[in-house]
Amino acid sequence: MPRHRNKPLAFVGYFVRCQFGCEFMELAIVKMKNFAVLLAFLVTNGSHVSAFDIAHLQKLKDTNYCRKCDLSNADLVNGYLKGTDLSGANLNSANLKGANLKGADLKDAKLHFAFLWYADLEGATLQGANLKGAKLDFAFLWYADLEEAYLRNADLEGAYLEGVNLKGAYLGFANLNGATLQYADLEGANLNSANLNNANLNSANLKGANLNGANLRGANLCNTIMPSGSVMYSGC
């Protein structure tokens, strides 16, 4: 008897034809195509299958509200998520490149190694969010609230952080090369071994911040409040 291990579609078509009649053939094929699309959507990061909850993703699309949802590894490239409530959500390794997250609530969200290149997070709330190893290159974070956020090894090269609240945030070993931090509040922040090469810290507040091992070469420190409370005028 010939084997059909390599012909799953033919087998399903045969089954549908024999059991329910040919009028259901088209429906079966459509459903299989939909399943293939869904499977392709689930697969991210090479051969790894994502762990996000499909129901949660649908909830996000339908309601713009998904607190504590599991969206880890989800593909949300260029997604329109303005004002979305994602507080406490699991977005580990999610792809949010170019996403519109203006005013979004991401308080206590998990964003380990999330991709946020060029994402718009203007005015977003990320208090206590875990952004360890997140990719935020050239992201827009104007006046966003990242108080006590965890950004160890985060990549913020060229990011726009004007007026951002980073009070008490952990930025150890973070890359802020060429980032704009004008008027940013970094009071009490931990910037141990952070790269602030050519960063714009004009009028930023670094009072009580930990700058041990930080690279400030070429940084603009005009009117910057230093950890000791003194004001620098370098670059004015």
> What is the residue extent of each domain of the chain?
9-42, 71-236
For 71-236, give the CATH class: mainly beta
Residue 22: is its pLDDT beyond 70?
no
Q: What is the pLDDT of residues 116-128, one digit of tens each?
A: 999 999 999 999 9
Q: What is the pLDDT of residues 158-181, one digit of tens each?
A: 999 999 999 999 999 999 999 999
Alpha carbon distance 196, 219 (integer Å):
7
Alpha carbon distance 68, 109 (integer Å):
8
Mean pLDDT of all residues in 101-130: 98
pTM for the predicted model, two decimal places: 0.78
Return the pLDDT at 95: 98
**Backbone phi, then psi, for 155, in 5-degree steps?**
-105, 110
Alpha carbon distance 33, 214 (integer Å):
53
Contacts of 74 (CB under 8 A, 6+ apart): 44, 50, 52, 57, 91, 94, 95
Query: What is the DSSP secondary structure assignment for residue 22, as one 8-state letter?
Result: G
Q: Do 70 and 88 meet the contact criterion of CB atoms below 8 Å apart?
A: no
Alpha carbon distance 179, 200 (integer Å):
6
Q: At what angle do helices 8-20 and 25-42 cross, to 10 degrees?
A: 140
Return the pLDDT at 53: 84
